[in-house]
């Protein structure tokens, strides 16, 4: 009879630490933390194979509260550190927790190149449209004319769309969810976890101290149906309290239509395709909420699995060179080529 024992079943509690969670009461970060701690046990991965890496900001406290390996790195550099780790240890499940300031301002360059390389990381971008840790300055996602401590007369910058930026970098998985929509958030996190390449998820999150109500139009229950369209693969884009509105493609433009008006039926609506290989389709969707009368899309914008992961290509190249030229000698390498002595 076999004496082998099954690995212990993990629970949410296994991913909780003894650290005091030090976010402001009512912060949306609590909901995101709870969702991640609930999803991790369901992924079938050993706890010691998880790593959570962060930069600087309120969101970047995340590694302290996850009972996994982790790094709290420096401002904007979480993608760089995570890329290095994933390249050397592709067997690890590496998640990045970052914010709209950390990832899109000082860390913008690192974010772009991590996504274009298709490193097998799971990136959670907490977007509250403000710098919370440094007490309320405007961020790269703050709206025009935002009055803050650093912009007392209103900000002049046009805001970034994190989703548009990720799609522009040709990220192979791009999604959006909301802190208070726990069921949707958990499903989105599971979809990101299942993706093999770079999985970028923007999470709309409230900062009730410095930017309370940033996403009021889509977090209030009475307003959600009118202001949100859920992206579901293979299903038409329908929204509205009575599901009477839809999105259709008119030439090269998206437009909001009323089902039943002028003979319009569900068959006329745009059917969502997360596997569309052209990033232009997903980019169109990412720009919807900037247009008057359009809803904010949530869900998976794009999931394109047919791109090799950076770490796989890198390690295969190393194996190929070693097979061709041998394991190499660092001492010989340092003394090869153009060398000279200084006396």
CATH of 12-224+298-310, picked from 3.20.20.70, 3.40.190.10, 3.40.30.10, 3.40.50.970, is 3.40.50.970
Residuewise pLDDT in 10s, the chain (343 residues): 555 666 679 999 999 999 999 999 999 999 999 999 999 999 999 999 999 999 999 999 999 999 999 999 999 999 999 999 999 999 999 999 999 999 999 999 999 999 999 999 999 999 999 999 999 999 999 999 999 999 999 999 999 999 999 999 999 999 999 999 999 999 999 999 999 999 999 999 999 999 999 999 999 988 899 999 999 999 999 999 999 999 999 999 999 999 999 999 999 999 999 999 999 999 999 999 999 999 999 999 999 999 999 999 999 999 999 999 999 898 988 888 887 788 8
Question: Which string of b and e fits 115-153 if b means at least 16 CB within 10 Å?
Answer: bbbbbbbbbbbbbbbbbbbeebbbbbbbeeebebeeeee
The span from the CA of 132 to the CA of 208, in Å, is 10
The span from the CA of 301 to the CA of 297, in Å, is 8
Q: Nearest CA to 173 among 147, 155, 146, 191?
A: 191
Start-to-end Cα distance in the chain: 73
Q: Nearest CA to 57 among 74, 80, 36?
A: 74
Check if the beta carbon of residue 327 is closer than 8 Å to that of residue 258. Answer: no
Q: Nearest CA to 9 among 48, 47, 63?
A: 47
The span from the CA of 135 to the CA of 282, in Å, is 34
Domain boundaries, the chain: 12-224+298-310
> According to the model, what pLDDT value does residue 13 have?
98
Residue with tokens 């890329």: 83
> According to the model, what pLDDT value does residue 333 have?
84
Task: Tokens for 98, please give them.
Answer: 């970052």
Is residue 138 helix, strand or coil? coil
Q: Nearest CA to 274 among 174, 160, 204?
A: 174
């Amino acid at each position: 009879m076999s004496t082998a024992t099954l690995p212990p079943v993990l629970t949410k509690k296994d991913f909780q630490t003894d650290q005091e969670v030090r976010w402001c009461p009512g912060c949306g970060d609590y909901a995101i933390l709870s969702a991640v701690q609930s999803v991790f046990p369901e992924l079938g991965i050993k706890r010691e194979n998880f790593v959570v890496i962060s930069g600087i900001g309120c969101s970047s406290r995340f590694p302290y509260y996850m009972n996994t390996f982790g790094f709290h790195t420096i401002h904007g550099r979480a993608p760089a550190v995570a890329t290095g780790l994933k390249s050397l240890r592709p067997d690890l499940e590496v998640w990045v927790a970052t914010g709209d300031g950390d990832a899109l301002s000082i860390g913008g360059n690192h974010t772009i190149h991590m996504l274009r390389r298709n490193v097998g990381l799971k990136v959670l971008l907490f977007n509250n449209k403000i710098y919370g840790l440094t007490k309320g300055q405007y961020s790269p996602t703050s709206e025009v004319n935002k009055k803050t401590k650093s912009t007392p007369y209103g900000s002049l910058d046009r805001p970034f769309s994190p989703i548009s930026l990720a799609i522009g970098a040709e990220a192979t998985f791009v999604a959006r969810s909301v802190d208070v929509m726990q069921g949707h958030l958990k499903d989105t996190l599971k979809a990101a976890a299942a993706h093999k390449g770079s999985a970028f998820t923007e999470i709309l999150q409230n900062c009730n101290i410095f930017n309370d109500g940033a996403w009021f139009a889509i977090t209030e229950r009475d307003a959600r149906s009118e202001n949100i369209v859920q992206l579901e693969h293979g299903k038409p884009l329908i929204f509205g309290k009575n599901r009477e509105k839809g999105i259709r493609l008119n030439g090269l433009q998206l437009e909001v239509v009323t089902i039943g008006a002028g003979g319009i039926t569900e068959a006329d609506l745009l059917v969502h395709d997360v596997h569309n290989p052209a990033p232009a389709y997903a980019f169109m969707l990412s720009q919807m909420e900037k247009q008057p009368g359009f809803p904010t899309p949530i869900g998976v914008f794009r999931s394109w699995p047919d791109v090799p992961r950076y770490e796989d290509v890198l390690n295969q190249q190393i194996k190929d060179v070693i097979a061709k030229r041998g394991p190499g000698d660092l001492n010989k390498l340092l003394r090869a080529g153009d060398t000279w002595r200084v006396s």
